[in-house]
Amino acid sequence: MPFLLGRTAVGSVGVAHLGVLALLAAASTRPALCRVEATGVGLSQAAQATAWLSEVNDRLRARGLIPGWRDERYAVVDPAAAAGAPALAVIERAAARFWGTLTAGAHANGYVADASGRPTHLWIARRALSKATDPGKLDNLVGGGVPLGQSPFETLVREGWEEAGLAAARFAAAQPGRVLRLHRDVPEGLQAERLHVFDLALPAGVQPVNQDGEVAEFHCLPVDEALARARAGEMTVDAALVTLDFALRRRLLPPHEHDGVAQAFARLCTEPDGVQPV
């Protein structure tokens, strides 16, 4: 069901959650602010939305409906607006899927190329078992959510050090790829995300080293093996899409697969300046 701030649809709430939201809204310190109906949930004043969401999210967390609390601030934006649009409100990161609000992620395909520049291997991370989301799954070299106040590239640089021990200077060579639009039901609610993709060539012999305990190990896999693992569901959904997109743009897929994958990704992608469709 639609979630609105004023007249702007900013997310989507599961039908199964309408009952508890009606109870919590009525018990909140601003009961008149929120409308919960069979057709959706609306907050009448966007200016008070941040405080109201903070109060109600604490209560949803106590009921076990918002797992994996992060204490990270995410922007609530108009999903129809361009990337980088001003925040209409602020929300706890872990609550974004409950409310179905649009988030952003920054991912880097770390690759090793041969003398001709053709990628031969991809650096693939395995997520730590302690991760709140997708523990133990395979992931891209670098990947993380974009918090309030950071650009996707700034997030990439920060996560590049935390996850892989790569200095900020190395990301000067990162090439922006496409922006993938992801929209899928998840146990917490709805994942609506823009994935900002970057490609980063790493010299042979460079070994990523995790700094924050969120990566269990890294593997430098032949491209074909990395793609096979993406297809087999061993990667997170985000990482699988980012990896397949890399192979598509770099023309690393078998000829009989290329056109079909290209058509599927045409529905998921936006083209940043200077990036040509494949």
pLDDT band at 263 (very low <50, low <70, confident <90, very high): confident
Rounded to 10 deg, the angle between the 49-62 and 18-27 helix axes is 120
Average pLDDT over residues 182-193: 94
Q: DSSP class of residue 38?
A: T
CA 7 – CA 29 distance, rounded (Å) = 22
Q: What pLDDT shows up at residue 47?
A: 87
Domain 2-100 CATH (choose: 1.20.120.1200, 3.40.630.10, 3.30.750.160, 3.40.50.2300): 3.30.750.160
Residues 268-277: what's their mean pLDDT? 52
**Dist. CA 201–CA 178, nearest whole Å:** 17
CB 133 within 8 A of CB 94: no
Domain definitions of the chain by residue range: 2-100, 104-179+195-270
**pLDDT of 270:** 63
pLDDT of residue 275: 44
Question: Contact at 8 Å (CB) between 92 and 74?
Answer: yes
pLDDT at residue number 278: 42
Amino acid of residue 25: A
Which residues lie below 8 Å from residue 248, measured CB to CB, with a gap of 6+? 258, 261, 262, 265, 278
CA atoms within 13 A on the CB side of 140: 29
pLDDT in tens, 102-133: 999 999 999 999 999 999 999 999 999 999 88
Options 3.90.79.10, 3.30.565.10, 1.10.645.10, 3.40.640.10; CATH of 104-179+195-270: 3.90.79.10
pLDDT category of residue 271 using cuts at 50, 70 and 90: low
274: tokens are 């200077």
Q: Which residues pair with 195 in a beta bridge?
A: 105, 180
In this structure, are residues 61 and 24 in contact, taking their beta carbons and an 8 Å threshold? Answer: no
